[in-house]
Structures are given as C-alpha cells and as structure tokens.
Amino acid sequence: MKSSHLFILFILLFLGVMVWTEFHLPKQFSWIPTFSRYDKQPFGCAVFDDVLSSSMPAGYSLSKETFYQISIHDTTSRKAILAVSQDIDLKRVDVDAVMRLAERGNKVVLASSSFSTLFSDTLGFSLSYGYFNPSSLKRQATSMLLTRDTIQWVGDSTYTSQNYCFYSQLCTGFFVKSDSTFQMLANNRSDRQEEIASHHLEIGKDSTRSKKAIVRRAVIEGSTIRSGAVVLSKKIGKGEIILISTPLLFTNYGMLDGHNAAFLFRILSTAKDLPLVRTEAYSGNEQEEQSPFRYFLSRPPLRWALYLTIIVLLLFMVFTARRRQRSIPIVRPPDNKILEFVQLIGTLYFQKKDYSDLVRKKFIFFAETLRKSLQINVENVDDDAWLAAKIAVKAGMEEEAIHQFLIQIRPIVRGELNVSERQMKELIDEMNKIANHLTSI
C-alpha cells in the first residue's frame, strides 16, 4: 500500500474517533430563545409545534407571513393566529392588519415580553420590562429551594380558577396598565409583582413616603392586581385579541415543564373551534433546517476537526501535485485500408460476375481523367472520330485504335451489350493505357 493511501486512511480513522467522541460527550443545551420550528433546544418550538399539530382539534399550521399578508390573502375564513417572540415590534401596517383581522372574527394571540409603543397605545395597555437571564434560570432550577412564581388562571366560562407554578425567569413581564375593556384571564400572584408595580407608580415630591406605602396604595386602588396580569383579552368587532406577557412558556421548555402544559392549552382553548396558525414572521431568530454540515459547524470539536481535515487535504494535494513523467504511448502509423477496400469491392463483383457493370464503373473514372486532361465530357460527345483525334494528339497514340475502342465501349456503357471476363480485361487495360499516356505527358 502506498504511503499516500496510508495517510488518507489515518485521517479517516482520526475523524471517526473524533465523531465517536463528540457523539458520546454530554449534550450541551442552548438557552437562547429562538422560537424556531427546527430548534429542539429548551427555548425553541420543535416540540411545541409537534404537540399542537396533534392536539388542536381544528388543525395547526406554521406560516412565515406577516399579519398584513394574512389579512389580504384570506378575507373570508376565520382562524386563530399565534405570534410568539421576545419582542413583537408591530409597525402601523401590522397594527392595522391585527385590528382588521379581529374585526372580521379572527382571534389574534400575541405572546411577547415587549410590544411596540404604537400597538400598546392603540389598545390601551402598558407592559413592564422583563429581562430574561439564562444564568439565573439555571441557578434557580438547580437550587434546593425550588422557588417558583404562581400564575393563577382567574377563571372564565369554561375553566375554573387554577394555580400553575413556573420559574420566575419565565414570568418576568407583567401588564401594569390596561383599560376597562380588557378581561384578565391570568395573573401572577407572587410577591414580586409588588416590586414590579412600584417601578411604575409615580413618587410625589414628598420623599418621606416609603415604597411600601406606595405599594399598599396600589393594592387598595386595584393597581397591583392589574399590574400582575400576564394574560389579557379584549373583544374587537367579531373577534378577539389575547395578549400574553410570558412568551417563554410557549416553547419546548414550557410545554414539557411538569403539568404546566395545561396552562397553555387553557389559553389556546379560546380558539379551539378555529384552525390555529403560528406565524414566525416576528420571531427574529428563525433558523434554517439543520443539515449535517451545519451541525458540524455548530460543534467546536467537530468544527476544528473539519478545518483540520480541509487543511491536511490541501497540504496533501499541494505536495502530491508534482508533475510526473507519464508513459509515452506508442503511436502506430495509420493502416492503409485502400487495398483492402479494393479487394473487397473486387471480390463482390467477381462473385456477382457482372463484368459489364465493372466496365461501366471503370469508364466513369476514365471519363473523369479525360475531363481533367482535355476539358472534354466524354459521356456527352457523340462524335467519336473527333474525340479519338483529340486523344491521339494529346496521348501520342494511333487515332484509329482509339476510335475503334470508343466504338466498342459505347454500347457497353449504355447497357446495350454484355461482355465476357476476357473482354472486360481487354477494355479495362485499354482505358488504363490511354489514361497513363495522358497523365505522363
């Protein structure tokens, strides 16, 4: 085996060992929210979409269209539209499209920890700022205290009141203000809501009032209950707009976190009679479908193994691309097939014994020789005496012999007379004799 083959075999063995090692290493999770249909990490939506596709009675589908595109593509059928993102920044055209969709009888479900000012002013609500910290979530999840926030479903015509426990990092946003047209479906009943509410109450010039007194005033006036809301509903025309301040619950982690998936289904059950469409136009972190090559690049060990392989192959190509002396092929002279062809044709005529046709074929070549030498078309000349004189002068032969030859061959050429083998030889010899005299001069 050549050294180059051994080298390539070594590289392939090295790659196999690295792939096996990477495959058996503990899996590292990514805690970055993507809300992507292809992402199987905690805050992707691959599991979430799979569960909903088999659970929604009227059907579940995914789309990349914006609210404006949805509103103009289908103006007759009613559906529920779900958008999940950390920040849903709706422009004027999107806000108008959401309002039109709701007025036609559609249900628009928006889950986000931040909405555009234009959208919040249009509907009349205010949302506290919620910052998601993956490190805090992991510390809280591994803590022995197991402290969680309690989100209460306040109860409606379908479900009774029910409490659900989530990690506080998944419930960082609260609605701190909303007008009377909103209906609160769920609120956060943890003590942290008072801290959030205190940031959104104006402190007067009297600095002696403590924050605790301000929070107490908020409780008395009902602001705390409103500020702790995480799910609000508002009727618009024939439809409804549902606002949710906890988008991280609508992910793989939220769907698989204990029995809390029931909380998500309570929200989505408001549209159980309508087909549900989740649009990814506002996710902001949409991923492409993972390919094996993309997976290699996403893992540092596999990525460096791939880079090392490419570098080694390039070096191998550089050092083995030297010009080598190739064997010089033996060039044989081309075979002369003319003689074989003549023998083949002669054999065919001999087997047929058509001597007259062979004389006519020979006469065609003889006429071409006379045409080139004397510029006379023998086949169209009727005066054989004149033609014999011309040939005799040019060839230096006897005129009478040539005249007799022409008289003898004319009926054979016209197909009026057949000849024997001996006559064929004599006529062909005579034509060759005249042609040789003409070409020799």
CB 62 within 8 A of CB 37: yes
CA distance 322 to 253: 57
Tens of pLDDT, residue by residue, the chain (441 residues): 455 556 666 676 766 676 666 666 666 778 888 898 888 888 889 999 999 999 898 899 999 999 999 999 888 889 999 999 999 999 999 999 999 999 999 999 999 999 999 999 999 999 887 778 777 777 776 675 667 888 888 866 778 888 888 888 888 888 888 888 899 999 888 755 444 444 444 433 343 333 333 333 333 333 333 458 999 999 999 999 999 999 999 999 888 887 788 999 999 988 888 999 999 999 875 444 455 666 677 678 878 888 888 888 888 777 776 666 677 788 888 877 787 887 887 788 778 888 888 888 888 888 888 888 888 877 766 778 888 888 888 888 888 888 888 888 888 888 888 888 888 888 889 888 888 888 776
Measured CA distances, 257 to 48, 111, 202, 295, 394 (Å): 12, 18, 37, 27, 116
Residue 233 pLDDT: 92
Residue 239 pLDDT: 93
Residue 278 pLDDT: 95
CB 278 within 8 A of CB 60: yes
Contact residues for 188 (Cβ-Cβ < 8 A; gap 6+): 149, 150, 151, 152, 171, 174, 228, 229, 230
Ramachandran class of 2: left when φ > 0, alpha when ψ lies in -120 to 50, beta otherwise: beta
pLDDT digits (tens, 9 = 90+) for 378-401: 776 677 888 888 888 888 888 888
Residue 297 pLDDT: 72
Residue 285 pLDDT: 58
Residue 216 pLDDT: 34
Which helix (H) or strand (E) segment is 307 a member of?
Answer: helix 300-319
Residue 23 pLDDT: 60
CA distance 427 to 423: 6
Using DSSP, state whether 151 is helix, strand or coil: strand
Q: Which of 166, 219, 175, 171 is nearest to 194 (CA)?
A: 219
Beta strands in 189-246 (DSSP E): 229-236, 239-244
pLDDT digits (tens, 9 = 90+) for 78-95: 999 999 999 999 999 999
pLDDT digits (tens, 9 = 90+) for 103-128: 999 999 999 999 999 999 999 999 88
CA distance 84 to 316: 50
By CB atoms closer than 10 A (0-12, 13-18, 19+), residue 261 is: middle
Residue 220 pLDDT: 32
Beta strands in 136-181 (DSSP E): 149-153, 162-166, 175-178
CA distance 40 to 290: 11
CA distance 268 to 249: 12
Angle at 161 between CA 155 and CA 164, to 5 degrees: 120
**182-188 and 175-178 beta bridge pairing:** unpaired
CB 35 within 8 A of CB 283: yes
Which helix (H) or strand (E) segment is 276 a member of?
Answer: strand 276-279
Name the token pair of 207: 């600095």
CA distance 80 to 239: 9
Burial of 294-310, coded b for 16+ CB within 10 Å and e otherwise, reads: eebeeeeebeebbeeee
Polymer length in residues for the chain: 441
Residue 324 pLDDT: 64
Q: Which of 85, 224, 84, 230 is nearest to 151 (CA)?
A: 230
